[in-house]
Chains A and B, each alone.
Chain A
Amino acid sequence: MTNESVQDDDGVNEQISSFPDDTGHFGVYGGRFVSEILMQALEELNNEYERLRHDEAFQAELKSDMSHYVGRASPLYFAQRLTDMAGGAKIYLKREDLNHTGAHKINNCIGQALLAKYMGKPRIIAETGAGQHGVASATVAARFGLTCQVYMGSEDIERQSLNVYRMKLLGADVVPVTSGSRTLKDALSEAMRDWVTNVDDTHYIIGTVAGPHPYPKLVRDFQSVIGRETKAQFADIHGGLPDALVACVGGGSNAMGIFYPFLEDASVRLVGVEAAGMGLETGEHAAPLTAGNVGVLHGNRTYLMQDADGQIIDTHSVSAGLDYPGVGPEHAWLKDIKRAEYVAVTDEQALEAFRSLNLLEGILPALESAHAVAYGIELAKSMDREKAIVINLSGRGDKDIPTMAKIDGITIT
């Protein structure tokens, strides 16, 4: 991409960062594909968000909580030994794992809980797969005195008992979802059903840059603190702009968060890393951008994992947070206009990167983030030593210790 503008419907050049348009579209992607009951609630949410975006009191409260509660700014760390191992471009890590609750998810939850508070909604609901977004939602509910119900697939409840208990400690009610494949996508559908029923007093905190407009935009905006900090910190520590940014993509919120402030900087390569699971050729993966096709699910048009009849298919990834058959619509669009590139990394490659980062840097990454690390190492290897890349380390891996131990054949009591 050499020219950082695209033509809109009227043939006018617009900056990439000015999207979505007023109706929530990124090109043909995004939009608002929901039942009539939710149309008014989404319109209200959009209006409130547009108003509060420019409201000084709201922004001051957001900023204050981001620093004093979340612990921002998160460090940008030069990974010397990882860089030496790769033997190419310098590797920096954006340490979202050091945020309160251990992942980038909290950035969005603080923002949306504040929205709920300003909109006068005393109850929040959320969907969760691995439990990370559920924990972050339960956390902000406790922080702001909101009641919180978290929808979670019954399969995932069994796999992630630690986070389930953690949400209960935080006072949230975890509701098992037994429909469909009993995983994240079904939890999202069930949360939408709750919202349809309780729309008067409830705000739905979607955990990623998916869902109907304005969610992809507002979640991106709350997450883009990652990219703004990265830009300033990189200029300060290293000078100039990084040559590439690498982030894992489940729904795509940590990736959009770090990409967004760099969209107009044409020299910066943006690389999203999806989960190739057992390998793209096996069909057992969660890589809709790399190996899926376009469709409509959960309120937006985007790339999906689906069969020949348009039914959504089961996904696989060793990391529960990437195990989702869709992806945020802005990524679909950035792929089509070639502003960002999307690749996929297998379970095995991610596990190897997980171990390397522990051994070389003393950092325990989330398995999701390990996908970005795996590709980041490969990318750095292919680049000259005077180049530099930033990998978004979206979360810490404490939650994944049981999974890793099981893979290593170790029983933890």
Chain B
Amino acid sequence: MSRLTIKVEANQTAGRKSLVAYIVAGDPVKDLTVKLMHAMVDAGVDIIELGFPFSDPEAEGPVIQLAHERALKHGTSLRDVLLMVEEFRQGDTDTPVILMGYLNPIELMGYEAFCVFASSTGVDGTIIVNLPPEESGVFSSHLENHDIDSVYLLAPTTTDKRAAYVTAQSRGFVYYVSLKGTTGASNLDVTDVGEKLSRFREISSLPVMVGFGIKDAATAAEVAQISDGVVVGSAIVNLIAKHENELGSVIPDVTELLGGIRKSLDKI
């Protein structure tokens, strides 16, 4: 069983809601990323989604777009990001790390080369935003050969028929994009999410994590009532942006945010 599935299933058995945290590797400097990853785990994060930067992050809102730009300003490459995972693994062999981003840097590295490198550094899964399962046949067979889980997305626009197809391809969990919009949008409608999720539950028993628009402990708790866990991204990246020039404040602030969310999830 993969590290990701072990973690998700252990949480389900223990009745613990999963807290998934997203940051962009190399934002705002390469040195901070691994330290921040450890701090997030200490604050109660179960799974890390580590964004690898791309020049054209098509599905992101302004907050995460700027994080990609900051990371690229000093040349954070896919290779650098994989080396960060390797460094993180020296101190943490338990927390699943999922690489999240856009396909092109992986295309250029080559699917096989990427998978060999990624699995050797301790990467557990991928979420490639612009790679729906219809297009990922070749890539996913490489991933499978190297025991890397591919996590796919569901959206409010996903039909039942597609949901069955997507969940059948997804490993570990499926990521429900809670709203029609880009990351960081604020039009989250929890009732709407609930209706959609109960339909997806009938289609698949795969655990569902909900992301997009979860910005604080209150929204996290609301959404976690109806899902297996929540993904927090823009709210963290916002804090990083705010403290770009006083990096010492990033870790305490992020720890406080995630600690608060953890507490509210544990009350469920």
Contact = CB atoms under 8 A, between A and B. Distances in A.
Contacts of B191: none
B103 A33 contact: yes
Interface stretch (B29-37, B148-156, B257-265): B148-156
B71 to A, nearest CB: 11
A124 B142 CA distance: 40
B153 A35 contact: yes
Contacts of A306: 104, 108
A121 to B, nearest CB: 15
Nearest to B72: A311
B65 A179 contact: yes
A40 B130 contact: no
A36 B166 contact: yes
Contacts of B131: 33
Contact of A192 (B58, B72, B177): B58
B58 to A, nearest CB: 5
Interface string B111-134: 000000000000000000111101
B109 A197 contact: no
Nearest to B59: A35
Given A39-B157, A39-B162, A197-B181, A179 B129 contact: no
Given A40-B159, A197-B180, A306-B108, A312 B130 contact: no
A309 B78 CA distance: 7
Interface stretch (A155-163, A280-288, A295-303): A295-303
Contacts of A199: 157, 180
B128 to A, nearest CB: 9
B99 to A, nearest CB: 14
B106 A310 contact: yes
A37 interface: yes
Contacts of B129: 35
A36 B211 CA distance: 13
B135 interface: yes
Among B79, B157, B177, the one with the most A-chain Cβ atoms within 10 Å of its Cβ is: B157
Nearest to A197: B181
Contacts of A298: 56, 58
Contacts of A296: 102-104, 107, 130
A34 interface: yes
B228 interface: no
Given A33-B131, A39-B162, A309-B78, A189 B181 contact: no
A40 B157 contact: yes
A185 interface: yes
B105 A311 contact: yes
A311 B185 CA distance: 25
Contacts of B59: 35, 37, 192-193, 196
B106 A39 contact: no
* Contact-residue bracket for chain A: 35 or more
Contacts of B2: none
A23 interface: yes
Nearest to B108: A310
B200 interface: no
A36 B132 contact: yes
B27 interface: no
B182 interface: yes
Interface string B134-168: 11000000000000000011111111001000100
B62 interface: yes
B55 interface: yes
A186 interface: yes
A192 B58 CA distance: 7
A31 B137 CA distance: 12
15 contacts: A31-B135, A35-B132, A40-B157, A179-B66, A180-B55, A193-B60, A193-B182, A196-B182, A198-B180, A295-B108, A296-B104, A296-B130, A306-B108, A310-B107, A312-B55
Interface of A: 23, 31-41, 179-180, 185-186, 189, 192-193, 196-200, 293-299, 301, 304, 306, 308-313
Interface of B: 54-62, 65-66, 69, 72, 75, 77-79, 102-109, 129-132, 134-135, 152-159, 162, 166, 177, 180-182, 185
5 closest A-B pairs by CB: A310-B105, A310-B108, A36-B153, A309-B77, A37-B155
Given A34-B58, A309-B79, 20 more contacts: A23-B134, A36-B154, A36-B157, A37-B156, A37-B157, A39-B132, A186-B56, A189-B58, A192-B58, A197-B185, A198-B180, A295-B108, A296-B104, A298-B58, A304-B104, A308-B108, A310-B107, A310-B108, A311-B54, A312-B104
